[in-house]
Amino acid sequence: MLTHRRWESLDRAELGWLRARQHFSVSTDGNSAHAALGPLIVWNDDEIAVGSGFPMHGHRDMEIITYVRQGFLGHRDTLESEGTIHAGDVQVMSAGTGIRHAEFNRGEVPLKLYQIWLRPREAGGKPAWNTKPFPKSDRSGRFVVLASGLAGDEGALPVRADARVLGAMLKAGDRVRHELSAGRRAYLVVASGRIEVNGEPVGPLDGVAIADVAVAQISALEDSELVMVDAG
């Protein structure tokens, strides 16, 4: 079953410095059709104005993956970690027993990113932060695992959840397939371009929830950048 979550149907937040669309409902008055997908509970499409960002704040018992689409993300936290994450790079923060951090636009253009939240397998654990570049050329015509809590995904950033985050760069006409074992679901977002998933047209910035499907056949109608979470 495919459930198409079109850009215009997503919940939104407008704070002046922050423009956000929410693929998953994060409040009781949100779109009730956009429920969590297993451990995947948040997928926000954020745009942060130049010179702005989230001040120091806390999280616990959450795996937070940040995929930067445009600009430069600045990060610092109470683990004394600090870094700049560039477009195409990925950041992972395991909040565990508790961590405080700040994130801000360190560039000269609006910062665009996806922030993905996964419930961990177990509560607690030592907080951790990591980041890694993933050149888009390495994802040409195929999905590459960017972050994972599953065995065998070497080279991916580690998360403590039953899920993996993947990315792909497709040229118009490219076709890829993603197999889903029994009981697993996926959520796919078109960061740019247009695709078809098992014959369903999916436009730019749209998402599609995939469940009870053995194989997702993806065809690029235009040059496209894709991000997907495969979750238990």
Element (H, E) at 103: strand 99-105
Asked if the model's pLDDT at residue 232 lies above 90, the reply is no
| Three-state secondary-structure class, residue 8 | helix
Reported as a single tens digit per residue, the pLDDT across 122-153 is: 999 999 999 999 999 999 999 999 999 999 99
Domain ranges of the chain: 2-231
Return the ∠ at Cα 141 (arms to 173 and 229), rounded to 5°: 110
Q: How much is the pLDDT for 181?
A: 87
Query: Does residue 121 carry a pLDDT above 90?
Result: yes
205 pLDDT band (50/70/90 cuts)? very high
Task: Tell whether pTM > 0.85.
Answer: yes
pLDDT digits (tens, 9 = 90+) for 154-183: 999 999 999 999 999 999 999 999 999 888
pLDDT of residue 140: 97
CA 73, CA 75: separation in Å to the nearest integer?
6
Give the span between the Cα atoms of 177 and 143, in whole angstroms: 9
Q: Average pLDDT for residues 82-94, to the nearest whole number?
A: 94
Identify the CA nearest to 48 among candidates 85, 103, 8, 101: 103
The position carrying tokens 């235009």 is: 222
- Mean pLDDT in the chain? 96
* pLDDT bucket at 38, cuts 50 / 70 / 90: very high
> Per-residue pLDDT for 30 more than 90?
no
Of residues 29 and 54, the one with the higher pLDDT is 54
pLDDT, residue 27, reads 81
Structure confidence at residue 88 (pLDDT): 87
CA atoms of 61 and 65, how far apart (whole Å): 13
The CATH number that domain 2-231 falls under is: 2.60.120.10
Dihedral angle at the C-alpha atoms of 67, 31, 200, 175, nearest 10 degrees? 10
